[in-house]
Amino acid sequence: MSLTDTYDTPAPIPEPSGLPAAAPTQPADLLLRVYYEDTDAAGVVYYANYLRFCERARTEWLRALGFSQQAMFASDGLAFVVTRVEADYLRGAELDDWLRVASEVAASGRASLVFRQRVWRGDVLLFDSRVTVACVDMLSKRPRRLPASLAALLPPRTPDSPDNNASTEPA
Q: What is the pLDDT of residue 25?
A: 54
Catalytic residue of the set 5, 8, 40, 163:
40
Helix/strand/coil percent split, the chain, to 5: 20, 35, 45
- Domain range list for the chain: 26-151
User: What is the reported pTM?
Assistant: 0.78
171 residues of the chain, pLDDT tens digit each: 444 444 444 444 444 444 444 455 556 899 999 999 999 999 999 999 999 999 999 999 999 888 889 999 999 999 999 999 999 999 999 999 999 999 999 999 999 999 999 999 999 999 999 999 999 999 999 999 999 989 988 877 665 556 554 434 443
- Contacting residues for 124 by C-beta, under 8 A, at least 6 apart: 91
Q: What is the pLDDT of residue 156?
A: 72
CA end-to-end span of the chain, whole Å?
69
Does 40 qualify as catalytic in the annotation? yes
Residue 95 DSSP class:
T
Q: What is the pLDDT of residue 113?
A: 95
9, 67, 85, 113 from 131: Cα distances, Å? 33, 19, 5, 8
Q: Tell me yes or no: is domain 26-151 CATH 2.60.120.260.
A: no
b/e per residue 88-125 (b: at least 16 CB within 10 A): eeeebbebebbbbbbbbbbbbbbbbbbbbbbbbbeeee
Element (H, E) at 116: strand 112-121
